[in-house]
Amino acid sequence: MFYCRCRLNMPSLSYSGAACVEFHYHMFGFHVRTLRLVHRSSSVGGDVTAWEKSGQRGNTWHRANTEINLSRDSQVYVMC
């Protein structure tokens, strides 16, 4: 059985405070599992899942947005 595993890292941010993250996603096919938007900072002490969807969502693009609280050393990434 084939499982897609990926991680898209975004550059470290110098901003701190609340931020709105908006993006589009497409989850279609028998192999679709879970898509997560995650952020990490030393003040949190680990990974925090800010947004998550699982399973097929149809053969179309969807828009999503979520608010995350960032610190100066935050890293934001997408995992599937």
- Our count of domains for the chain comes to 1
**2 is a domain residue:** no
Q: Sorting pLDDT into bands at 50, 70 and 90, what band is 10?
A: confident
**14 is a domain residue:** yes
pLDDT in tens, 30-78: 888 899 998 887 776 788 899 999 999 999 999 999 998 888 888 888 8
Query: What is d(CA 70, CA 1) in angstroms, rounded to the nearest whole number?
Result: 38
Q: Which tokens in the block code for residue 34?
A: 């879970």
pTM: 0.79
Query: What is d(CA 75, CA 13) in angstroms, rounded to the nearest whole number?
Result: 7
Closest by Cα among 62, 69, 67 to 35: 62
**31 is a domain residue:** yes
- Say which CATH number the domain at 53 has: 2.60.120.200
**30 is a domain residue:** yes
Closest by Cα among 24, 26, 35 to 57: 26
**26 is a domain residue:** yes
